[in-house]
Chains A and B, each alone.
Chain A
Amino acid sequence: MGQEYAIEMVNITKRFPGIIANDNITLQLKKGEIHALLGENGAGKSTLMSVLFGLYQAEEGVIKKDGKEVKINNPNDANDLGIGMVHQHFKLVQCFTVLENIILGVESTKGGMLQMEEARAKVMALSEKYGLQVDPDAKIEDITVGMQQRTEILKMLYRDNEILIFDEPTAVLTPQEIEELMQIMKNLRAEGKSILFITHKLNEIKAVADRVTVLRRGKYIGTVDVADTSKEEMSRMMVGRDVNMVVEKKPAKTGDVILKVEGMTVASKVHANNAVKDVSLEVREGEIVCIAGIDGNGQTEFVYGLTGMEPLVDGKITLCGEDVSKSSIRHRSTHGMSHIPEDRHKHGLVLDYPLEYNMVLQRYFEPEFTAKSGFLKKKEIRAYSEKLEAEHDVRSGQGPITIARAMSGGNQQKAIIAREIDKEHKLLVAVQPTRGLDVGAIEGVHRHLIEERDNGRAVLLVSLELEEVMNVPDRILVMYEGELVGELDPKKTTVEELGLYMAGAKKNVTVNANTSEIEESEVIDNVRSGKEEA
């Protein structure tokens, strides 16, 4: 094409025992382009990047910089070649300032003394040039996630990196912050930087990328121009089949109130103040209510309080007419509450237990699985596990005796969902049930949630994914800094409006009577009409 490539990875093959993580993959990043790398979880994106950073050595294939073959043996080599990365989970020192974090590792010194003024001037110049607003003297722990990300970007620029890699950069941002980031990426491109953008969000690719390379199960599927490719086509390339992007559901048929939360307040583990403040809500039979919000706004603590994993500071929880505010986790679980936890490794599974033991984690004590003598009924446990595996298509290497750790994330999640749905319950609390799952698996989880609703269960969904928030629930409650700040009707609201609520820029009082700030009366009307149905 006559155009020079900034970096090329040609015919890269990387194998691990029993799996080919990268099978003959070619990725060519042109100078001054935004190139998206698209693929589901486990498609080989991370492995490919690890090869680029010298964390792994490819068995076959070469890496070329500006057309010349280079050898990258460790991350320092990559850095010397001008390759920098913004990781999904920021690598910042919390108690250092923005400026200190930026210069960390490349401090300029004179006689052993730091030369901060020089660094500050360079950082401020970069910040201005690319529109990256930061406060250089603020500590990382005090600034927003968006500013932390800008700090990470400045870190790359400060090191004069020419090739910038963004690993799933939008996962933790509000819609407005995502918008800003897209603009920043465009600015960087305009200044001649080459950007590799790892994501599985098609909208974002459409918004900024010039070309996209798609990987599927370790294989190279193709590289296409974004402008000539529809989202549906990209999704098909990624998943290998047609994916139903819209969640189909019938109108909700709501019944009795199953869950009633009044004035719930939960203490925070990290701060002195409460993480959840005076939250009240209701969930009825046959509806899906979604708590939306940006990560870290009290959703986790709310769920802990609801399920009994944290004591309440104040408030009342009524489950199927029974006050369970002070009941044990076991009591809530056996009296109608099922819980798909946020962190399936931390809470959802005993990873070193076989699958069959995990399948009965909520029911092992029932007479069906434990004899009066206290011995486990292993045959029954095996049979039950096999039944659930068959019904929910849980795949594993050795069936019931597979150690849960050895299963893929999607199948681990399927196992948890199978367990929680099969157990007797009236309320399903599903916290980020599609986190880390690929498109095909997400579709399945959503179908399950709708099915639950149609079977007359009350479903409380906690989600960070905008697409999920907009498509799955019947009502949206937005949580911001531990309070419910708005109730929206997914049919009537827009992503932009949702974003304003999530960012705390908008509030309405219909949810929390004691929230006094009203910024947009128009919104309230909009919302009230939605609330009346419920």
Chain B
Amino acid sequence: MNEKAEKKSLLKNPSFQAILTSLICIALGLLIGYIVLLIINPVGAGEAIKTILLNFLSRSSHPARMKALGNTLAKTAPLLMCALSICFCYKVGLFNIGAAGQYEAGACFGLYAALAWHMPWFVCLLIAALAGAVVGAISGALKAYRNVNEVISGIMLNWILLYLTNMMLNKVKDPASPYTLKLASANKAALIPTAGLNAMFSNNKTVTLAIPLAILFAILIWVILSKTKFGYELKATGYNKEAAMYAGMKEKQNIIVTLAIGGALAGIGAAFLFLTGYQEWSTTQTSVPGMGFNGIAATFLGGLHPIGTIFASFFIQSITDGGALINKSVYPSQISDLISSIIIYLCGFVLFFKFALNNWIDRGSKKKEVSKVTGKEIKADDASKGGDK
């Protein structure tokens, strides 16, 4: 009886709930992904899902594994920054779907500063942050003063920034390809230092300070939100804008500041990718980079908690990379994106499962109460329920 009560309270514990529902989402995503694979070609389905999950672990040698892990980590850092951007804004009641555009702004001005002005990496990083902040602040100002939904202005800015970036970076691109110049040859000082981290990952030079810095940002965001006066005001504004105004907070200013900070985080995210030399910007791309959108999934999968976001970002990046390893002779080449996007899509269902879980707990306790009052055999009821679990 006592043990059961403990079980109940554990189920009601919000952190436990967050982790549990995230795991349910992952499991369900994998299941649906598996079913899709089965439908396309039943022969390699099991193997493919294993490849997605194992990602770098599926490599044959240890050095190869570490190198692949390094690649995943290098891309986790920008994803984490985008997720933090969305998470931070979400806590203040804003849905920052414009993170993708802010990320583009970061890429645009970060790379431009590196390639056109030959700035060192930290200056490029600051410029990227500033660019993202400005784009975020535009959405923020529109929201605060004209009540324009930040989702609408964010999506529109995503496209505006995409073509602005293509146009700007066209000036610093490699004449032979649509890609921007390689930092390693054009401006070495703009590469984020590896600080020896590359040694641990089979000399993978894309493993840089960006990774520990991103984790530091996650901790910083968590501290700001939960421990400071600034966080108190921002969250109050997010929960109840009217009450924030009543209490004399500058709620309009808070909205702009929040989106500007969110923008800065996403801008830094872009710098964390493009200033590692991991890849170059393609000036002919016609779609908004997925990083900002995957950040949404990482935010929800991370239980809307900055620290949880760290793990969620790594997981999502890992299955995305794992998807690329699927045997292309068995499945069409689009399969990797399809499967990882199904899983990412399901990650967005965290809140739904949380709701369902709470409903289920409530119903359970109600049932118990009824049986108590009506004098049914409680013990038998409990025993059968205990068996269920």
Contacts and interface: CB of A to CB of B under 8 A. Distances in A.
Interface of A: 15-18, 59, 307, 309, 328-331, 333-334, 339, 341, 346-353, 357, 361-362, 364-365, 370, 374-376, 378
A333 B248 contact: yes
A361 B236 contact: yes
Tell me which of B247, B249, B362 has the highest count of chain A C-beta atoms within 10 A of its own C-beta: B247
B240 A351 contact: yes
> 8 closest A-B pairs (Cβ-Cβ)?
A330-B248, A347-B246, A329-B248, A370-B229, A352-B239, A361-B247, A350-B240, A350-B239
Instruction: Determine the main DSSP class of B at the interface with A.
Output: helix
B248 A374 contact: no
A348 B370 contact: no
A329 B229 contact: no
A375 B228 contact: yes
Interface of B: 227-230, 232-233, 235-236, 239-240, 242-249, 362, 365-366, 369-370, 373
Contact of B236 (A330, A348, A353, A375): A353
B242 A346 contact: yes
Contacts of A59: 370
Contact of A17 (B228, B233, B366): B366
Contact of A364 (B232, B240, B245, B365): B232
Contacts of B236: 350, 353, 357, 361
A328 B246 contact: no
A341 B246 contact: yes
Contact of B369 (A17, A341, A353): A17
Contacts of B232: 357, 364, 376
A307 B245 CA distance: 11
Instruction: Output the residue of A17, A307, A350 with the most chain B CB within 10 A.
Output: A350
Given A365-B229, A374-B229, A375-B229, A17 B248 contact: no
A349 B247 CA distance: 9
Contacts of B373: 15
Given A347-B243, A364-B229, A15 B248 contact: no
Given A351-B239, A374-B229, A375-B228, A17 B365 contact: yes
Given A347-B242, A352-B240, 10 more contacts: A15-B370, A15-B373, A17-B365, A17-B369, A18-B365, A330-B249, A341-B246, A349-B243, A353-B239, A361-B236
A374 B229 CA distance: 6
Contacts of A365: 229
Nearest to A332: B248
Contacts of A15: 366, 369-370, 373
Given A15-B369, A17-B369, A374-B229, A362 B248 contact: yes
Specify which of B228, B230, B248, B249 lies most central, judged by the most chain A CB atoms within 10 Å of its CB.
Answer: B248
Contact of A346 (B229, B233, B243, B369): B243
Contacts of B365: 17-18
A16 B370 CA distance: 10
B366 A16 contact: yes
30 contacts: A16-B366, A18-B369, A59-B370, A309-B245, A328-B248, A329-B246, A339-B246, A341-B246, A347-B243, A347-B245, A347-B246, A349-B240, A350-B239, A350-B240, A351-B239, A352-B239, A352-B240, A353-B235, A357-B236, A361-B247, A362-B248, A364-B232, A364-B233, A365-B229, A370-B229, A374-B229, A374-B230, A375-B229, A376-B227, A376-B228
A329 B370 contact: no
B231 to A, nearest CB: 8
Contacts of A350: 236, 239-240, 243-244
B241 to A, nearest CB: 10
Contacts of A353: 235-236, 239
A348 B366 contact: no
A15 B369 CA distance: 9
Contacts of A309: 245-246
A155 B69 CA distance: 70
Contacts of A18: 365, 369
Contacts of B247: 329, 333, 361-362
Given A17-B366, A17-B369, A348 B229 contact: no
